[in-house]
Structure 1
Amino acid sequence: MKILITEARDFSQTAIENLERAGCEVVARQYDYEELKNNIHDFEGIIVRLGIKVDKLLINSAPRLKFIATPTTGIDHIDLLAAKERRIKIISLQGESMFLKTITPTAELSISLMLNLMRHILPASQAVLAGKWERDRWIGRSMRGKTVGIIGMGRLGKMTAKLTKNFGCQIVYYDPYVKRTKYTKAETLAELAKTADIVSIHVPLNGETAGLIGAEYFRQAKMGQLMVNTSRGAVVREQDLIKALEAGRIGGAGLDVITDEMNGEISKCPIVKYAKKHRNVIITPHIGGATGEEMRKVEEFIVEKIIRRQEEAPVVKIK
């Protein structure tokens, strides 16, 4: 089987060697979209990260393609309907609950964004680089005693709750699919919005969660609330977020994901334009899971899964 690794920079060499030992011919390249479209035709399998949207045009440029593998839990960067039409298997980290319990970087980044917003770390550092040593200008707030609202109490929600609890925070969560935990449950999203000083979003992107956080949420949010999103950009209606930031209803936002992150012209995105002019928004380029150790770990895991399930990997069910 001929397999293409489409984003080969720092890809686990152990994973590549494991594929080769299993009898696969492996080609590792750092392709952009056009390069991939022009070279994908000869491959039976591809391994993708998050840098390229695997759309219908790309899929239909690969007549021999049998599977698309991604070392991620989210798979919204793949056109699932186009893959289903071609009976192409999707191999991902979805459903690998035991393994994923060992993967913590996204929760760690959520905490990092909270701390940056609470303590003004980024603008304070930028001010020093500009020659200004102004201690009193950057007086922040303590985490201890704050109420942290977790939207989505799955794996990452629970990790983030545990980490914030260690700072002395009170935890409230909203998740209609989780009945009870040791934390306080909000029966409605509005209840969480009204009580949380900081909100951290940890839901998958689907028909139910797309646009979940919008104008209605922001109208009810506690004044000055801080918001962190490390899930998917489309969960938050960004135009509504901008209005809430301008009104002071939301005091700051730490975003590792934005709606248009795969469209190529990031500088034109409204939330990026806003962040250029305001110090209360931090945007990082979807680096939640991007630590060297964990990336190698998940790449080696997904390769094991490819080897193990070349014949029986299920096609993702499209609802």
Structure 2
Amino acid sequence: MQQSLPKVVFLDKATIPAHVLFRELNFSHQWVEYDYTSPEQLKERLTGAEVVISNKVALNGSILRQFPSIKLIAVSATGTNNVDLDYCIENQIAVCNIQGYATRSVPEHVVGMIFALKRNLFAYHQDIEKGVWQKDKQFCFFTHPITDVAGSTIAVIGSGSLGKAVATLASAVGMKPIFAERKGALQVREGYVSFEKALQQADIVTLHCPLTPSTTNLIARDEFALMKSTSVVINTGRGGLVNEAHLIEALKSGKIAGAGVDVFTNEPADISNPLLANLSLPNLLLTPHVAWGSDSALQSLVDILLNNIDDFVAGKHSNRVV
């Protein structure tokens, strides 16, 4: 009896735009793809799967134990917080992720947000919409402070490939990067600044660390109180890193000058989210989790994803998390 080909299932392919090219895998297989997968659809779609590709579909232990055929979970992103890694370790399920694919895209998005906020571009755009220019009757008007990016101190939280790439690009446009030590660390490593001092010194705080129990609400009311009133916060890491309600408080009270947010605690976010509920604030810039998504980064992500799967089948350990 002929053995069936290994089944590769992509649970949420719509997270990758249609114009990004997928090459064939190097081994004979069945390829099954779905644009979206709800929790209720997992039982049908994962049955018989050996390789599962997922970006944001949650795969916890209670789900995975129903599908003993799964040998590899190929995460089509860097973050693995949607996968039960402990269960995978205990049950010999390999997990790989995508690393280093967005080291141009994310830093450019971060720096773009910094320029927009430091120069109050969004606020001035809103003022023109409201007719402020015509009322002022001058060739220009100054309703919001405009501060230079060059000479600013940028505190980078997270010193992985993205954090380092942001620091490099920030340096190129005249910013001074400092790397924040882990919050609560008893010792400060060489080349780092203590978490609290980094927040106090920074004109810009940018987050590039993973979301874990210890980093949830990493930036909240107490941390905003340490920052300069002229500082801006950029979060392109994970939504849970910053307490969203406390961020709105800090913006409205003037504890900080602005915020750029690309990630949210629940995605897609709706009006129940404090950030969306206050999106008319002139010092709040929101984007829908797209910092990683330049065309070149997306193609690189797909290429690495497919290489990870090919390497696993070939007995190699590329980008293995567990």
Give 1:143 shift.
Answer: 0.6
2:77 matched to which residue of 1? 72
Q: Mark the CA change 1:173 to 1:103 in structure 2 (over 3 Å): closer, same or farther.
A: closer
Give 1:104 shift.
Answer: 1.9
Q: Equivalents in 1 of 2:119, 2:178: separation in Å? A: 22
Match of 1:309 among 305, 309, 312: 312
TM-score (norm 1): 0.82
Q: Which amino acid aligns with 2:119?
A: R
Deviates further, 67-76 or 236-245? 236-245
Q: Equivalents in 2 of 1:32, 1:131: separation in Å? A: 46
Q: Which amino acid aligns with 2:175?
A: C
Match of 1:168 among 148, 155, 174: 174
Correspondence 1:198 to 2:204: yes
TM-score (norm 2): 0.81
1:156 matched to which residue of 2? 162
Correspondence 1:106 to 2:111: no
2:7 matched to which residue of 1? 2
Q: Equivalents in 1 of 2:20, 2:171: separation in Å? A: 37
Q: Which amino acid aligns with 1:105?
A: S
Q: Equivalents in 2 of 1:313, 1:130: separation in Å? A: 59
Alignment check: 8 A CA contact 1:198 1:227 kept: yes
Give 1:133 shift.
Answer: 5.5
Q: What does the per-residue CA deviation read over 1:227-282, in whole Å, with 9 as the maximum and x for residues that have no partner?
A: 00111121222222222222211111111112223xx5532112221x32412112
Segments of 5+ residues of structure 2 without an aligned counterpart are: 1-5, 135-139
2:296 matched to which residue of 1? 293
Q: Equivalents in 2 of 1:25, 1:127: separation in Å? A: 55
Larger Cα-atom Rg:
2
Q: Which amino acid aligns with 1:290?
A: G
2:223 matched to which residue of 1? 217
Q: Equivalents in 2 of 1:221, 1:205: separation in Å? A: 22
Q: Which amino acid aligns with 2:223?
A: Y
Segments of 5+ residues of structure 1 without an aligned counterpart are: 95-99
Q: Percent identity?
A: 25
Match of 1:270 among 245, 249, 274: 274
Q: Which amino acid aligns with 1:108?
A: E
Q: Which amino acid aligns with 2:117?
A: L
Query: Where do 1:28-177 residues align within 5 Å?
Result: 28-34=33-39, 36-37=41-42, 38-50=44-56, 52-56=57-61, 58-60=63-65, 62-84=67-89, 86-93=91-98, 100=100, 103-125=103-125, 135-136=140-141, 137=143, 140-176=146-182
Correspondence 1:239 to 2:245: yes
Alignment check: 8 A CA contact 1:12 1:299 kept: no
Q: Mark the CA change 1:14 to 1:221 in structure 2 (over 3 Å): closer, same or farther.
A: closer
Alignment check: 8 A CA contact 2:103 2:165 kept: no
Q: What does the per-residue CA deviation read over 1:187-219, in whole Å, with 9 as the maximum and x for residues that have no partner?
A: x22211211111111212223322221222112
2:137 matched to which residue of 1? none
More helix by share: 1
Q: What does the per-residue CA deviation read over 1:39-86, in whole Å, with 9 as the maximum and x for residues that have no partner?
A: 232422221223x33345553564532221113221112233444455
Match of 2:232 among 186, 206, 226: 226
User: Between Structure 1 and Structure 2, how many residues are aligned?
Assistant: 302
Q: SS at 1:44's partner residue?
A: strand
Correspondence 1:254 to 2:253: no
Root-mean-square deviation (Å):
2.9
1:279 matched to which residue of 2? 282
